[in-house]
Amino acid sequence: MNPVNEPLTDFERNARVLLEESVSRIDGRTRSRLNQARHAALEAAAAPRRAWRWRSYTLMPAAGVAAALLVTLVLFNREPSVESPVLEGQHAVEDMDLLADSEGLELMDGWDGPFYEWASTENEGNVASDG
Amino acid sequence: MPVALHGDLDLTDPEAQTRSRALNQFLAGVELKAFKIAQAALRHEDDALDAVQDAMLQLARAYAGRPPQEWKPLFYRILENRIRDMQRRRTVRGRVMAWLPVRGEDEGEEPDPIAQAPSPDPQPARRLELEQAMTALERSLGGLPRRQRQAFLLRTLEGMDVAETALAMGCSQGSVKTHYFRALQALRAELGDFHS
């Protein structure tokens, strides 16, 4: 070789002439596509900031709409519960009251099973007599 | 001259405009040879175009801010990586495809009447000879191991020196010399002392 930077041999020179001839014969369609690719690359070099601005202004409303759709889908696809949402809400408020109520907590601490069983049967008895 | 870390060129900046023009000039200077190199490796015009396009994009996006003298080895390194990726993907699709002859861009289409028209060349015999030599060289190049072909084309077609070729190939200068020497030996053995 002339692996380093010595003058080319005849073989290398001939090969270079052939390869250059081959390059010069590249057709117009390919040249045009390469030209387009080059311009696209140059635009891409300047594009990141513009692209970010575009994304930030365009995708935010789209993301909002997508989130709203998702929430709507989740709400509509929930399995219907046995109790109505209103009752559920009431129970939640009652639970909050129980937690906030210091007496309630004291009752829970000193768990008295027989008392609650008695209270429960009393309540059922009242309901039966009302009905 | 301050050098940007990434290829993010702000074209409102006059310095960036100059850099963009320099990049355009550089890419215009290498695109045809790069296409030939990719075509020799991939043996498919559209794949070769895709590889060159990707290499241009990546150079412009990631390395436009680097000193222009680094662009050539960087560009050819990116191109070679892209070619290798495509070859791997193709290997997965089926090794048989790699051994098919070069596919033209008009494959399966009607022949172009302009291309079919008789050549106005006054020396058709000489032209035919040249074409045969080119075809033989391209075929032999296609049969070389990847690194040998790369070293030979970067040196002979692109005219890169050993240091630049080593950067582009991601190896030592000694390896470049070895690959180049073996490529020359293989081509000589196959083609003899052919004339251009």
Closest C-alpha among A127, A4, A84, A112 to residue B180: A4
Domains in chain B: how many in total?
2
Residue B195 contacts by C-beta under 8 Å, 6 or more apart in sequence? A14, B133
If asked whether residues B96 and B136 sit together in one domain, one would say no
Is residue B187 very low, low, confident or very high in pLDDT (cuts 50, 70, 90)?
very high
**Domain-located, residue B111:** no
If asked whether residues B97 and B58 sit together in one domain, one would say yes
What is the distance in angstroms between the Cα of B85 and the nearest Cα belonging to chain A? 19
Interface touch B134/A21, C-beta < 8 Å: yes
Residue B127 contacts by C-beta under 8 Å, 6 or more apart in sequence? B119, B121
Encoded amino acid at B70, one letter: E
Residue B83 contacts by C-beta under 8 Å, 6 or more apart in sequence? B38, B41, B42, B51
* Lowest-pLDDT range of A113-127, B71-85, B142-156: A113-127
Would an 8 Å CB–CB cutoff place B133 in contact with chain A? yes
Would an 8 Å CB–CB cutoff place B129 in contact with chain A? no
If asked whether residues B2 and B85 sit together in one domain, one would say yes
Instruction: Tell me which chain B residue has its CA closest to the CA of residue A43.
Output: B60
Candidate from B31, B35, B157 with C-beta closest to A16: B157
**Domain-located, residue B84:** yes
**Domain-located, residue B178:** yes
Encoded amino acid at A117, one letter: E
Stretches where chain A sits below pLDDT 70 are: 1-6, 47-63, 78-116, 123-131
Q: In 10 A of CB B20, how many CB atoms?
A: 20
- Complex-level ipTM beyond the 0.90 threshold: no
What pLDDT was estimated at residue B3? 42
If asked whether residues B72 and B24 sit together in one domain, one would say yes
**Domain-located, residue B44:** yes
If asked whether residues B4 and B92 sit together in one domain, one would say yes
Question: For chain A, how big is the Rg over CA atoms in Å?
Answer: 40
The CATH number of the domain where B195 resides is what? 1.10.10.10
Candidate from B11, B59, B180 with C-beta closest to A46: B11
Domain of residue B190: give its range.
Answer: 130-196
What pLDDT was estimated at residue A9? 85
| Chain A residues with beta carbon closer than 8 angstroms to that of B162 | 3-5
| Chain B residues with beta carbon closer than 8 angstroms to that of A51 | none
Single pTM value for the model = 0.62
